[in-house]
Structure 1
Amino acid sequence: MRFSRTTFALALLVFATVSASAFAESLQASTNKSYRIETLADNLPYPWSLDFLPNGNFIVAMRSGELHIIGESGKTSRKITGLPTTYFAGQGGFFDVLLDRNFKRNQKLYLSYAAGNKKANRTTVASARLSGDTLLDVKKIFEVTPSKNTSAHYGGRLLQLADNSLLLTTGDGFQFREAAQDRFSQLGKVVRFNHDGSLPSDNPFASGENGDPAIWTLGHRNPQGLAIDSLTGNVYLHEHGPKGGDEVNLLLRGHNYGWPAVTHGINYSGALISPFTSAPGMQDPKHVWVPSIAPSGLAIYRGNAFPKWQGNFFVGALVDKEVRMLSPNEESSWTEQALFSELNQRIRDVREGPDGFIYLLTDSEVGALMRVLPVAAK
């Protein structure tokens, strides 16, 4: 057994070296500056996500436990009151803010956040109604079970599907990675629920006999990117690997994405997690990063402001302090290009706006909301 583990470790080292080499060859630096970047708002305390209000303003969730409305020009910023209490520690706090598809009619939004305390906390989703600068009718509609005693790996991304149900990514809590393969635990999963917190009858384990009725997919580590392609309707997710092995996945109902049974990464200590990068019954990723870029935020661009970028994926890279633009290819490896590295900022969220421009949030105690426009745009 000792010889076998050594052999596996050597094989994994060779794989990581080859993967890193192939990755370096596929990564292209941005040389043609067809864009310009303007800062709309700064001094934001750890901004995590944003959405676009119908009047042109922005709503931004701060991990620190604040929700701001920022004017279209960025000149005004107002704090929203009536917020739920969050557990702001480690990686915990406010995560995603998502306007309901019918927001113009119902003023409804959803907020994911860490709730609880050091001994017992969990990713939670609340719904509320936005009235001016205040949240009304705040109601918890989903709480991940079981709770955990760590302040890491919450997931926290939200997405509304065409049938108005919601997807939420959940992390494995860092110390509970085996739970990602436990069909009766909601850790390390994507869960699906209705706007009122009830569970859809067509979830993969809806009966509860073979798994938790809320589970949509399983085998995830810490997914912090979730987006739907408005052209194809396909849903994609990206997640943090350990040391290496960040992934982009096509999200399919009931599928198992492998963590920690299969992974392209290793422990931070250098120890082996699994000798397998693929296995029967587990979904292979569309793209892998070795070494890690620490992906956060995902936009699949279908706007008109940057015609050459249509169909590409935009991923914030926290470690590399840039955005990676991925060009998907079903027949060969995806290629990628580094963008916006001149900012030298950790990119927490990436969004395509209703105007076709690209919006960024930088991750720091004095973070910023930025807009990417074509050079010629006014």
Structure 2
Amino acid sequence: MHSLPVLLAAALLTAGCSGAESDAGLRPAGPSVPTGTPTGAPELDVEVLAEGLDHPWDVVQAPDGTLLVDERSGGFTAVLPDGTVQQVRADLGDLRAVGETGLMGLALDPAFEENRRLYSCQGATSGEIQVVAWTLAEDWSALTRADDPLVGGLPLNERSGRHGGCRLEFAPDGALLIGTGDTATGTVPQDPGSLGGKVLRADPATGEVTVWTSGHRNVQGLAIRPGSGQVYAVEHGPDRDDEVNLLREGGNYGWNPDGGGSYDESVPMTDPSIPGAVPAVWASGQPTLATSGATFVSGDEWGAYDGLLLVALLKDQGVLALRLDDEGDLTEQFQVPPLDDAYGRIRTVQQGADGALYAVTDNGDDDRLLRITPGS
């Protein structure tokens, strides 16, 4: 395992405290924020590409169009460009799948066409969460461990698996971003010596990791805004305020459930008593929606959907659309009509290399991989 220096950036941004709480499922941000489907939004077509999956967690698409899905309990499935669905062999003998933790986030290397390299984040029987680097066979039949692990030492709640994170995404500068959970341990999010409750930056070649942001509860989504370099994180709140956060180096996002040895979930998601705590750009209010994987939609064919941040919803069973201005302020929000309560819990939504959207459901042992495209 590569060395893991934990370097918390010294400077915290000076930002105001969190906004007022709301009792609405969609955060009301004043009458100027529309909440209905925008004029000019195309009809969306939804196609089932694979079914019979067991709690799939993430999906990525290779440049040749092949899709790869993983399942929390262990296993990889490929959907080839001709529609063939096949299992991908992989050594998962050390996988620790318990509660919310198991085989979780996936990311393809930016140079995948040359190196066939893939990254997964997963619980391990060694008592930690790890990022493992794999190489994929040319025919998509098997995965072989390359760096095992690339990054280790991410905390794991071995008893319950609660708040294990763990989303992966490549930053525009080539760093591998890792969103982690706080393992339901009160001291973790604000502890600079812990890799939990953080967003990390890792070197995909060496595994060297630094703490980029702190004060998170359970990061379930990471999304890069095209053309801007902005990184947004999505995380679960307790009984209020799921959040979408615009990440800035050294930012503390204000989750501090340390109750003097207990895990105090009555505290606000963004605690205003923390100096410089960065407020969320969107919060659910009460009740929560159980926000998860996220992606930005890009492409003229998407019409009024172009530029939206889409967020998968577990408890509210659908996909939330947020329009953010250049500074990250909310200007519009609605739930995407053909997915609203139609397929159950949505764990992840991602825009593929071909411009289509891909989503996985998370209902049980008969889950689906969906393809969503704008109608003609």
TM-score category, normalised to shorter length = 0.7 to 0.9
Deviations 1:69-125 (A, max 9, x none): 1123534222333346311111111001211000100111111111127xxx32210
Query: TM-score, normalising length from structure 1?
Result: 0.82
Contact map agreement 1:63 1:92 (CA 8 A) in 2? yes
Contact map agreement 1:303 1:352 (CA 8 A) in 2? no
Q: Structure 1: 5+ residue runs without aligned partners?
A: 1-11, 201-213
Partner letter of residue 127 of structure 1? A
Does residue 156 of structure 1 match 2:166? yes
Does residue 278 of structure 1 match 2:278? no
Tell me how far apart the structure 2 counterparts of residues 18 and 52 of structure 1 sit (CA, whole Å).
35
Structure 1 residues 171, 79: closer, same or farther in 2, change over 3 A? same
Partner letter of residue 280 of structure 2? P
Q: Once superposed, what is the RMSD of the aligned Cα atoms?
A: 2.8
Tell me how far apart the structure 2 counterparts of residues 20 and 129 of structure 1 sit (CA, whole Å).
41
| Partner residue in 2 for 1:22 | 28
Structure 1 residues 303, 268: closer, same or farther in 2, change over 3 A? farther
Partner letter of residue 164 of structure 1? G
| Partner residue in 2 for 1:369 | 369
Secondary structure (helix, strand or coil) at the match of 1:306 reads: helix
Secondary structure (helix, strand or coil) at the match of 2:192 reads: coil
Which of residues 291, 306, 310 is equivalent to 1:310?
306
Contact map agreement 1:218 1:256 (CA 8 A) in 2? yes
Tell me how far apart the structure 2 counterparts of residues 371 and 76 of structure 1 sit (CA, whole Å).
14
Tell me how far apart the structure 1 counterparts of residues 269 and 234 of structure 2 sit (CA, whole Å).
22
Structure 1 residues 169, 197: closer, same or farther in 2, change over 3 A? farther
Deviation of 1:245 after TM superposition, in Å, equals 1.0
Partner letter of residue 170 of structure 1? T
Does residue 353 of structure 1 match 2:352? yes
Report which stretch shifted further, 312-321 or 141-150.
141-150
Which of residues 131, 136, 145 is equivalent to 2:144?
136
| Partner residue in 1 for 2:175 | 165
Higher relative contact order (CA 8 A, sep 6+): 2
How do 1:1-378 residues align onto structure 2 when only pairs under 5 Å count?
Answer: 15-17=21-23, 22=28, 28-30=35-37, 34-83=43-92, 85-116=94-125, 121-131=127-137, 132=139, 133-138=141-146, 139-149=148-158, 150-174=160-184, 176-199=185-208, 214-260=210-256, 272-274=266-268, 277-279=271-273, 280-290=275-285, 291-329=287-325, 330=327, 333-339=330-336, 340-364=339-363, 365-376=365-376
Deviation of 1:278 after TM superposition, in Å, equals 3.0
Q: Structure 2: 5+ residue runs without aligned partners?
A: 1-17
Secondary structure (helix, strand or coil) at the match of 1:95 reads: strand
Query: TM-score, normalising length from structure 2?
Result: 0.83
Tell me how far apart the structure 1 counterparts of residues 57 and 176 of structure 2 sit (CA, whole Å).
19
Tell me how far apart the structure 1 counterparts of residues 55 and 238 of structure 2 sit (CA, whole Å).
23
Report which stretch shifted further, 316-325 or 342-351.
342-351
Partner letter of residue 252 of structure 1? R
Partner letter of residue 226 of structure 1? L
Tell me how far apart the structure 1 counterparts of residues 24 and 375 of structure 2 sit (CA, whole Å).
38
Deviations 1:225-246 (A, max 9, x none): 0011121111110100100111
Deviations 1:182-236 (A, max 9, x none): 1111111111111134426xxxxxxxxxxxxx21110000010001112111111
Tell me how far apart the structure 1 counterparts of residues 329 and 204 of structure 2 sit (CA, whole Å).
38
Report which stretch shifted further, 348-357 or 236-245.
348-357
Deviation of 1:146 after TM superposition, in Å, equals 4.5
Structure 1 residues 287, 70: closer, same or farther in 2, change over 3 A? same
Partner letter of residue 78 of structure 1? Q
Higher helix share: 1
Tell me how far apart the structure 2 counterparts of residues 52 and 97 of structure 1 sit (CA, whole Å).
10
Structure 1 residues 24, 144: closer, same or farther in 2, change over 3 A? farther
Contact map agreement 1:82 1:134 (CA 8 A) in 2? no
Contact map agreement 1:231 1:302 (CA 8 A) in 2? no
- Greater C-alpha Rg: 1
Deviation of 1:275 after TM superposition, in Å, equals 10
Partner letter of residue 134 of structure 1? A
